[in-house]
Amino acid sequence: MAVRTRFAPSPTGYMHIGNLRTAIFEYLVAKKDNGDFILRIEDTDQNRKVDGAIDFIYKTLELCHFKIDEGPNNPGKVGPYIQSERKAIYKEYAEKLVSMGAAYYCFCTEEELDRQRKVAESRRIPFMYNGKCSILTEEEIKEKLDSGIPYVIRQKMPKNGVTIVNDLVYGKIKIDNSILEDQILLKSDGFPTYNFANVVDDHLMGITHVIRGHEYLDQTAKYNLLYQAFGWQEPTYIHVAMVLGEDGNKLSKRNGDASFMDLYNQGYLPEAIVNYLVLLGWSPNSNQEIFSMEELIQAFDPTRISKSNSQYDVKKLNWVNAHYIKNMDDEKYLEYIKPFLTNAYDLSNKTDEWINKLLLTYKSHISYGKEIEYEVKWLFTEELEMDQECKDFMLSDDSIKNTLKIFLDEIKNINNWDSTEINNCINITKEKAQVKGKLLFMPIRIACTHQMHGPELADTLYLVGKEKILKRLEDYNENI
């Protein structure tokens, strides 16, 4: 049987990175066996639907280079691929369950359910619907239906024994049936619940592998009971542990955690985000950490998904993204990074040569696009402040004053202001002052830039410009 996986996000805004990680796993499972990756939009909760969110989903998958084999924008033979367009299908299958005795009409009002919740609360036990409507007679049901009383359809759960869930990561799991509530399958507005729609859609769409969060493992028992009631083949389940935020809580859009588009807009590269996220909860059988999509497809083995929660670590994401930036060719890099600089600063008095030099100088010093704005801010600031660490260093050795005087004299003689000539001045200063290492480079850097560290010194001084360099060196020599 051909492998078919599905990614089924809700259109409730930007896609958060925990949800994207699930999509990555689903995509890799499918493509590992040359299978199909299906996109299905789960919009049964109409109250949470956000206008334009489906376009965000398309954009995210496109940027991540996920080929959608079937979906709303690439329909196949098992559509529609948007759940709100499949209401008649869910009603048909819910009523089929009722006719088989595996589900029942429930006419309980919200007030009645609230009373049951309060009773459970007073007894300090979890609320579970008491199954009151499951014992209604056919006559009572017909009378209520004929009277137009609103109803939902609930799944009739066994109250004894266990239901088995076989999972590729967690193995054989036994779920006690006594904890399974008679869940609602079809709501009074005709929309299915998430749990019911998933089962019906996965079967009708031929989904062979279902990947979902470990926290929903108990719910999977309810899925299996539905599969069994219909006589359908259960899919292969792959439950994955949670991705926790840096605060230790589960990542969630509702909690305002980072979404893919947030990261993308800050200048994180989609291929780097995918590379980083796949390593959250999965490990290859080697020490390799940087993967192309083709390499991931070849290396991915779902049995190596961890049972333990993983934690989102922006420092590791930065490390991965920095690797991708450093390995971009210069033309592509400039195209990627330039908008972050132009959006932050007025460059009208800067030449293209200077701008490109600036960006290429910092290529190996940034971890994500927007970081360039903070890294080069000092170049666009007229009045620079020297921090205490810099001040202390400049007073730490008697040779520093002489080194800067020699360097000033050499810089004055440069006619062609470029990195090569500046570097020659640094080397001449080294010989004349008889200093090297940090006693050569650091005093020059601090006096000229008021910074202790930075990119290649000659390139940095070129960016500052000869006029400013001379003035800062002269001001420094006058004030010491």
- Per DSSP, the residues of 273-316 read HHHHHHTSSB--SSS-----HHHHHHH--GGGB-SS-EE--HHH
Assign 254 a pLDDT band (cuts: 50, 70, 90): low
Helix%, strand%, coil% for the chain, nearest 5: 50, 10, 35
Under the banding of pLDDT at 50, 70 and 90, the label for residue 480 is: low
Are 95 and 142 in contact, with CB atoms under 8 Å apart?
Answer: no
Residue 17 burial by Cβ neighbours in a 10 Å radius (0-12, 13-18, 19+) = buried
Q: Which residue has the higher pLDDT, 338 or 383?
A: 338
Residues carrying an active site annotation: 253
pTM here is 0.91
Instruction: Count CB atoms within 10 A of the CB of residue 110.
Output: 8
* pLDDT tens sequence across 48-83: 888 888 999 999 999 999 999 999 999 999 999 999
Q: What pLDDT does residue 475 have?
A: 84
**Residue partners of 151: CB distance under 8 A and separation at least 6:** 105, 106, 107, 144, 145, 188
Which SS3 state, helix, strand or coil, does residue 173 take? Answer: strand
When the pLDDT of each residue in the chain is averaged and rounded to a whole number, the result is: 94
**CA separation (Å) from 243 to 18, 39, 306?**
6, 22, 11
pLDDT at 223 over 80: yes
**The two three-digit tokens of residue 5, written as one number:** 């996986």
* Helix (H) / strand (E) containing 30: helix 17-32
Sign of the torsion angle spanned by Cα atoms 443, 449, 455, 459 = negative
Of 11-15, 108-112, 454-458, the one with minimum mean pLDDT is: 11-15
Judged against a pLDDT cut of 60, whether residue 255 lies above it is answered with no
pLDDT tens-digit readout, 118-138: 988 898 888 999 999 999 999
Instruction: Tell me the C-alpha distance between 275 and 74, whole Å.
Output: 26
CB-based burial label for 52 (10 Å; 0-12, 13-18, 19+): exposed
Check if the beta carbon of residue 96 is closer than 8 Å to that of residue 104: no
Mean pLDDT of 180-205: 96
Rounded to an integer, the average pLDDT of 393-418 is: 94
Question: What is the distance, to the nearest Å, from the Cα of residue 273 to the centroid of all Cα atoms in its chain?
Answer: 7
